[in-house]
Amino acid sequence: MAMKCVLMNSFIKNLALKNHDKCAAAITRFISTQKSASSKLFFLPASPSAKLLQPTTTALTATRFQKMDSKNFSTSGPQPSNLTFRQLLDYATFTYTYILGDNASKKAIIIDPVLERVERDAKLLKELQFDLIYALNTHMHADHITGSGELGRIFQNCKSVISKHTSAQAQKYIDDGDVIEFGKFKLECLSTPGHTDGCVSYLLRDHGLVFTGDALFVRGCGRTDFQQGIPQLLYNSVHKKLFSLPDHFLIYPGHDYNGNMSSTVWEEKTYNPRLTKPFEEFKKIMDNLNLPKPKLIDVAVPGNMVDGLLDKK
Amino acid sequence: MAMKCVLMNSFIKNLALKNHDKCAAAITRFISTQKSASSKLFFLPASPSAKLLQPTTTALTATRFQKMDSKNFSTSGPQPSNLTFRQLLDYATFTYTYILGDNASKKAIIIDPVLERVERDAKLLKELQFDLIYALNTHMHADHITGSGELGRIFQNCKSVISKHTSAQAQKYIDDGDVIEFGKFKLECLSTPGHTDGCVSYLLRDHGLVFTGDALFVRGCGRTDFQQGIPQLLYNSVHKKLFSLPDHFLIYPGHDYNGNMSSTVWEEKTYNPRLTKPFEEFKKIMDNLNLPKPKLIDVAVPGNMVDGLLDKK
């Protein structure tokens, strides 16, 4: 306790003196005296001279902050934070793929990889020195073939993942409430059916990020006119599962056709032209979209049934 | 000082008891007793139960944390953070546009808006309740017409901005070292010529974000074979101005043709296939790209000379 007082006095004194590096050092050492505090409080130095600034969607835990040095920095990649986050786009199908990596353990996951972009994604993962352990699908896609199976051939520890409420092959099946762990991070599986019956959203709750697949787009949502699509189910999924998240949570969709990359729960609750409507009106909209059949559905669905491993068909 | 001791004791006690909400409250109140500390130290509550979690690229300052309540939250939009950050894409020209907004003052800027996407961008800015005060160009583009002039017609406080080392019309000209302020945020202008002689990168230093325009792409860079492009200048700009930034700073480029949205200084210093080479080799690469003339150059450059206000040509 005496040491704690010394450290807190140093913190207070240096804060008053605006000596923020010393201030940060004191609070870091203080935290290190607390056995279990590290996972619960984040401390970020904000001085431009501090090398531990936090530039990403992630927060720097006290533990990480404490351990950070030049060696650790270089081995854990470029970002002095526990989480690496990347959004990637497949221009051909307007599909977003997401990489989430734990910089400490170097374990990573990928959400909705696209078969034709596996080479790009694998290269990036290797450059960032990640070991891919899960390739997750939000659902069985109708517009592109998943890269999850192929990634499992490149990364030996990688398991493909999809909802148990699909007829697709995968190495791990998930259900509502299941948790996918990568390093210290926990990704919650939220069952959000309606576009298909096996649609899942993935939630990184403590970072306020939700990956909604085709359940919810920026100012839109997935169609409900094939593959067990049911407007009532989708409406309930979005309202009960996604709109009940905190307003500021960032939504990362499965696609966007207008150049938007993200939104928030608040924005979609306020501005989504379909899902802000009463259900009957929503249903009318969804039943009258008159969209053409997806170009690749006859290739994509059989391909996704076998996890994108076309030589296994 | 007595109050500070009480608060720090409360902090220490609650940290030991793992009562992190009370702990956060104590440290916040402590910070509020420090007149100038708020701009230098960030405190983030990490408990899932805390409603002030930080989901974006931004950090929650102690000041903001202290002031946060449901009213403040709703008026400042969806994100309980000081900064709103959005990346947007023009699919036609693979151009990235960026919106940065101060949630407290509701002042926002936009970087590299595209004329054909002005309607989309203006709609989003209005939905997010921002007052656009600057529309910045990283340079005079050859592949698309800027939306900066048109945005000035929609947002009456908006000034278009470009380097003084161009022949383009704008309402504000900047030079190396100038600072663009929006609310409490300061964007530094780094002169990074070489692709054109008026290329500028914009740096939000305390968030570790740099918007590099066509000076530096993800694993690439802008061409140097027209509009005063000079390989030596570009090489120096990247090495001296951009690669000297901290390794973990996030790079947001002006374009990407492979579906990448960001990189880091570390990644480009390590993996950029052109700029990791010695200069002579870089020059050889740049001199032998044999790229076709940009499709729209004969429309874009004259259009950008008049800030995209084509009726003024």
Contact between B81 and A18 using a beta-carbon 8 Å cutoff? no
Structural domain spans, chain B: 83-312
Q: Is B133 helix (H, G, I), strand (E, B) or coil?
A: strand
Which among B288, B253, B263, B264 has a CA at the least distance from the CA of B274? B288
Chain A contact set for B117 (CB, 8 A): 259
Higher pLDDT, B51 or B221: B221
In tens, the pLDDT along B222-281 reads 999 988 899 999 999 999 999 999 999 999 999 999 999 999 999 999 999 999 999 999
pLDDT value at position A313? 64
Give the residue carrying structure tokens 């709750």: A205
Q: What is the DSSP string of chain A?
A: -HHHHHHHHHHHHHHHTT-HHHHHHHHHHHHHTSSSGGGTEEEEE--TT-TT---SSS--BHHHHHH--HHHHHHT-S-SSSEEEEEEEETTTTEEEEEEEETTT-EEEEES-BGGGHHHHHHHHHHTT-EEEEEE-SS--SSS-BSHHHHHHHSTT-EEEEETTS----SEEE-TT-EEEETTEEEEEEE--SSSTT-EEEEEGGGTEEEEETT-BTTB----SSTT--HHHHHHIIIIIITTS-TTPEEEESB-SSSB--EEHHHHHHH-TTTTS-HHHHHHHHHT--PPPPTTHHHHHHHHHTTT-GGG-
Phi-psi region of B106 (alpha: psi -120 to 50; beta: other; left: phi over 0): left
Pick the residue of B248, B268, B276 with the most A CBs within 10 A to test the interface with A by mutation.
B248
Q: Å from B67 to nearest chain A CA?
A: 16
Cα dihedral A159/A160/A163/A165 (nearest 10): -110
Residue in A40, A91, A208 nearest the CB of B20: A40
Q: A68 touching B, CB under 8 A?
A: no
Q: Alpha-carbon distance A310 to A148, whole Å?
A: 12
Q: B50 touching A, CB under 8 A?
A: no
Chain B contact set for A79 (CB, 8 A): 248, 264, 266
Phi-psi region of B227 (alpha: psi -120 to 50; beta: other; left: phi over 0): left
| Closest residue on chain B to A75 (Cα) | B266
Contact between A86 and B262 using a beta-carbon 8 Å cutoff? yes
| Residue A307 tokens, joined | 């996890």
Q: Å from B112 to nearest chain A CA?
A: 14
Q: Is B186 helix (H, G, I), strand (E, B) or coil?
A: strand
Q: Alpha-carbon distance B45 to B22, whole Å?
A: 10
Pick the residue of A30, A56, A262 with the most B CBs within 10 A to test the interface with B by mutation.
A56
Pick the residue of B247, B263, B269, B272 with the most A CBs within 10 A to test the interface with A by mutation.
B247
Residue in B16, B56, B73 nearest the CB of A250: B56
| Residue ranges for chain A with pLDDT beneath 70 | 1-81, 313
Cβ under 8 Å to B: A residues 216-275: 246-250, 258-262, 264-267, 270-271
Cβ atoms of residues B253 and B223 within 8 Å: no
Residue in A44, A55, A249 nearest the CB of B42: A44
Chain A contact set for B36 (CB, 8 A): 18
**Whether this model's pTM surpasses 0.80:** no
Q: B91 touching A, CB under 8 A?
A: yes
Is the domain spanning B83-312 CATH 3.40.50.2300? The answer is no
Q: Alpha-carbon distance A195 to A136, whole Å?
A: 17
In tens, the pLDDT along B36-61 reads 333 322 222 222 222 222 233 332 22
Mean pLDDT of B189-198: 97
Residue in B12, B91, B271 nearest the CB of A4: B12
Pick the residue of B4, B5, B9, B12 with the most A CBs within 10 A to test the interface with A by mutation.
B12
Mean pLDDT, all residues of chain B: 82
Contact between A208 and B73 using a beta-carbon 8 Å cutoff? no
Residue in A249, A260, A271 nearest the CB of B55: A249
| Closest residue on chain B to A267 (Cα) | B78
Chain A contact set for B259 (CB, 8 A): 88-91, 117, 120
Mean pLDDT of B208-218: 97
Q: B85 touching A, CB under 8 A?
A: no
pLDDT value at position B21? 54
In tens, the pLDDT along B139-176 reads 999 999 999 999 999 999 999 999 999 999 999 999 99
pLDDT value at position A311? 86
Q: Alpha-carbon distance B104 to B73, whole Å?
A: 10
Q: Alpha-carbon distance A214 to A205, whole Å?
A: 19
Give the residue carrying structure tokens 């946060």: B68
Contact between B208 and A53 using a beta-carbon 8 Å cutoff? yes
- Radius of gyration in angstroms for the set of CA atoms belonging to chain B, rounded to a whole number: 22
| Closest residue on chain B to A120 (Cα) | B258
| Closest residue on chain B to A34 (Cα) | B16
Residues 6+ apart with CB under 8 A from B227: B140, B142, B195, B196, B197, B301
pLDDT value at position B190? 98
Contact between A266 and B56 using a beta-carbon 8 Å cutoff? no
Residue in A36, A55, A79 nearest the CB of B207: A55
| Residue B267 tokens, joined | 């990644």
pLDDT for B189 beyond 80: yes
For chain B, give the percent of residues with pLDDT over 70: 74
Residue in A40, A47, A270 nearest the CB of B18: A40
Q: What burial class does residue B273 get, using C-beta atoms within 10 Å of its C-beta: 0-12 exposed, 13-18 middle, 19+ buried? A: exposed
